[in-house]
């Protein structure tokens, strides 16, 4: 018990140290923008549920301190700090009076995404499955993916590690279908309450199809069907169907 | 004929005209060069420093990391303390994705205590580890008021997700759902209070039964 307390303190200490460090490093870039609308509303927190407590006027130069989701923390010339929504910030100008590129994520960023990661759950031949993955797009049409799946059945559980190639014929569509093939290793372990059967490790190959649905910002939903063939050491190979759905984030 | 042509070409008049012509060409070229030098002069002047705003370089704090501690009540197996690590990514003002890894411990069933017989699980099999990945929705964001003087930033959120619970050597598919409150102390520090139901099916006590396990926890997270 004492060890866990020490561990906890160490974690807390490390985290607070990390926080101070990251603030020291990343607080350096704080650009100044010009308010061009009649006013700019400052809220007490980064959300529409927080009240407006101050208003910066047209022609004021405000400094952007940081960002959380679509909210920007700004400092007015009078030293007031508050949070402004992206839609209001979008009307501010740089100090030369030019419009600013706010780089809002949209469908074209979804099409051109490089890295993505996601989590999904579903059915694996009657058992439950949980999958986490990391993907990297070589081109908008082809991406590579590493997957880890935990299979949780009534009588046994197992782990699948696999590598996959995905092919997107229509990467520009909001609902973008894909084909996938891959290979990996499946480790199966029978539950202790059943019988003391031995653990098994087999090669697995699979092919499937699915689709990504772009929601907004960096967010997308994914649905997938896969047909697995477990290459067992017995006479017959095992065929398993997997259905799953989940969400992903891209960067 | 030849001498006559030579005579014409070598006459002082012709030479003078030719010389004047060549000289003239040189002079106009030189003058033109000088003129274009003058034209180029303004390009040498330095441009004013560019003050373009690069939005992608603004410090964004969408990640949350922290620790939780609480009490985990396991159906049939009593309650014990729980400890967990929490990681979250705020996709938007409304939604976040959260991953939790934690550990706790099973107690004794009332059967084990009352019968005095052999225990159902060994000591090591009572250690519980769990993980889950959930989607969270900040359903009631905003300030909360305590009395007339205090206003707290924060908000109520609901989460639901899936994961796995491991004990006694088996992994069980676990669905979790719950509600929590986030107190935002400063821009980068938040306090959490959570109540969550971890639901799984287990046949440890003979037949396959649905088990609801309730966890109460509190924690500290940092935004970065």
Q: A44-72 pLDDT, tens per residue?
A: 999 888 999 999 988 888 999 999 988 99
Work out the angle between the directed axes of helices B12-40 and B2-10 (0-180°, nearest 10). 50
Is the domain covering A31-104 a CATH 2.40.128.20 domain? no
Q: State the DSSP code for B149.
A: T
Instruction: Let me know the angle formed at the C-alpha of A110 by A161 and A26, rounded to the nearest 5 degrees.
Output: 85
Whether B93 sits inside 8 A of A47 (CB atoms) is yes
Whether B91 sits inside 8 A of A69 (CB atoms) is yes
A144-to-A17, A155, A169, A206, B6 alpha-carbon distances in Å: 36, 33, 15, 14, 86
Distance from CA of A198 to the nearest CA of B (A): 14
Of B81-90, B110-119, B169-178, the poorest mean pLDDT is in B110-119
Domain A109-250: top CATH class: mainly beta
pLDDT surpassing 70 at residue B28: no
Distance from CA of A23 to the nearest CA of B (A): 8
**Euclidean distance between CA atoms B133 and B110, whole angstroms:** 32
Per residue in B115-135, pLDDT (tens digit) is 877 788 888 889 999 999 999
The tokens for A70 are 């679509």
Chain CA centroid to CA B28, Å: 67
Per residue in A93-111, pLDDT (tens digit) is 888 878 888 777 788 889 9
Residues 6+ apart with CB under 8 A from A59: A34, A35
Helix, coil or strand: residue B159: strand
pLDDT at residue B11, rounded to an integer? 57
Query: In which residue are the tokens 């190639």 written?
Result: A165
Q: B179: exposed, middle or buried (C-beta count within 10 Å: 0-12, 13-18, 19+)?
A: middle
Partners of B72 in beta bridges? B80, B215
pLDDT at residue A29, rounded to an integer? 83
B45-to-B35, B38, B40 alpha-carbon distances in Å: 18, 13, 10
Helix, coil or strand: residue B207: coil
Q: Where in chain A is the domain with CATH 2.40.160.20?
A: 109-250
Per residue in A222-246, pLDDT (tens digit) is 999 999 999 887 777 889 999 999 9
Q: Where in chain A is the domain with CATH 2.30.30.40?
A: 31-104
pLDDT range class, residue A189, cuts 50, 70, 90: confident
Whether B92 sits inside 8 A of A69 (CB atoms) is yes
Average pLDDT over residues A29-52: 89
Distance from CA of B107 to the nearest CA of A (A): 16
pLDDT range class, residue B104, cuts 50, 70, 90: very high
């Amino acid at each position: 018990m004492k060890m866990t307390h020490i561990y906890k303190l160490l974690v807390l200490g490390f985290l607070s140290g990390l926080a101070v460090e990251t603030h020291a490093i990343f607080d350096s870039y704080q650009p100044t923008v010009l308010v061009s609308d009649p006013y700019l509303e400052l809220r007490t927190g980064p959300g529409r549920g927080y009240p407006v407590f101050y208003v910066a006027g047209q022609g004021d130069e405000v400094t952007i301190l940081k960002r959380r989701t679509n909210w920007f923390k700004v400092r007015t010339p009078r030293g007031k700090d508050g949070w402004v929504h992206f839609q209001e910030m979008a009307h501010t100008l740089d100090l030369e009076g030019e419009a600013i590129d706010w780089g809002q994520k949209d469908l074209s960023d979804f099409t051109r995404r490089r890295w993505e990661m996601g989590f999904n759950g579903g059915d694996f031949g009657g058992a439950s499955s949980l999958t986490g993955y990391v993907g990297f797009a070589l081109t908008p049409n082809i991406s590579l993916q590493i997957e880890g799946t935990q299979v949780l059945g009534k009588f046994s559980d197992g782990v699948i590690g696999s590598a996959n190639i995905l092919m997107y014929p229509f990467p520009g569509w909001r609902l973008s279908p894909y084909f996938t093939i891959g290979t990996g290793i499946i480790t199966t372990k029978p539950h202790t309450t059943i019988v003391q059967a031995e653990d098994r490790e087999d090669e697995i190959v699979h092919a499937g199809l699915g689709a990504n649905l772009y929601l907004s910002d960096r967010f997308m939903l994914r649905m997938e069907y896969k047909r697995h063939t477990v290459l067992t050491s017995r006479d017959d190979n095992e065929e398993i169907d997997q259905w799953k759905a989940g969400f992903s984030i891209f960067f | 004929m030849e001498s006559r042509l030579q005579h014409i070409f070598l006459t002082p008049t012709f030479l003078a005209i030719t010389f004047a012509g060549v000289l003239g060409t040189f002079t106009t070229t030189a003058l033109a060069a000088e003129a274009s030098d003058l034209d180029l002069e303004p390009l040498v002047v330095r441009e004013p420093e560019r003050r373009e705003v690069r939005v992608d370089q603004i410090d964004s704090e969408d990640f949350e990391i922290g620790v939780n501690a609480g009490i985990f009540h396991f159906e049939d197996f009593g309650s014990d303390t729980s400890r967990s690590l929490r990681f979250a990514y705020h996709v938007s003002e409304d939604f976040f994705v959260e991953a939790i890894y934690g550990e706790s411990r099973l107690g004794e069933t009332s059967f084990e205590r009352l019968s005095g017989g052999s225990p159902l699980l060994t000591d090591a099999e009572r250690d519980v580890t769990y993980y889950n990945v959930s989607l969270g929705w900040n359903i009631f964001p905003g300030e909360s008021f305590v009395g007339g003087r205090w206003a707290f930033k924060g908000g109520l959120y609901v989460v639901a997700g899936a994961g796995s619970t491991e004990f006694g050597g088996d992994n069980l598919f676990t669905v979790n759902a719950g509600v929590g409150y986030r107190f935002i102390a400063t821009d980068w520090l938040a306090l959490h209070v959570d109540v969550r139901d971890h639901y799984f099916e287990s046949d440890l006590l003979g037949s396959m039964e649905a088990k609801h396990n309730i966890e109460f926890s509190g924690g500290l997270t940092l935004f970065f």
